[in-house]
Amino acid sequence: MYLPDIKYFNNKYSKKYSNAENYFAHASNAVKEMFSQVGKIELNKEGLIEKGVIIRHLMLPGLLFDSKKIIDYIYSTFGDSIYLSLMNQYVPMYNACKFPEINKPLNSKHYDSMIDYCLSLGIKNAFIQEEGTASKSFIPDFDLNGV
């Protein structure tokens, strides 16, 4: 089971916000390799995933078009052989304050429109989040306690 993230499609965003050159090329190649190792999603009798890939995409404020490109890529490449996890839980932290355009919560209407977009493409295997998940209370302390 693999649970990778694909955050950016356009290199200008990955470079600007995460200082990650050629992010999409590297991330998409890594996901292809993961898929080649485990194949399509397999569920057990209880409906739990036993094998496969779930690709997470955290939507960022103002990058709706970039998110659509990611969804287009995922669905055209893997179809319903993987699951998509479309996340709305973005919380501006760390260096987000340097970029006013992403130093705010995700617009819930953009998230709803992305759900509609996924449905219009025919995506069947997807997880979506309810509102209210964009909160610092969901972010763990990364202090290595309990590890």
Q: How many CA atoms lie within 13 A of 120 on its CB side?
A: 9
Residue 140: per-residue pLDDT: 59
Take residue 55 and report the two structure tokens written for it: 């690709």
State pTM to two decimals: 0.88
Q: Which of 65, 109, 63, 106 is nearest to 87 (CA)?
A: 106
- Summarised one tens digit per residue, pLDDT across range 53-75 is 999 999 999 999 999 999 999 99
- Summarised one tens digit per residue, pLDDT across range 94-145 is 888 899 999 999 999 999 999 999 999 999 999 998 775 655 655 556 677 7
Q: Are 83 and 70 in contact (CB under 8 A)?
A: no
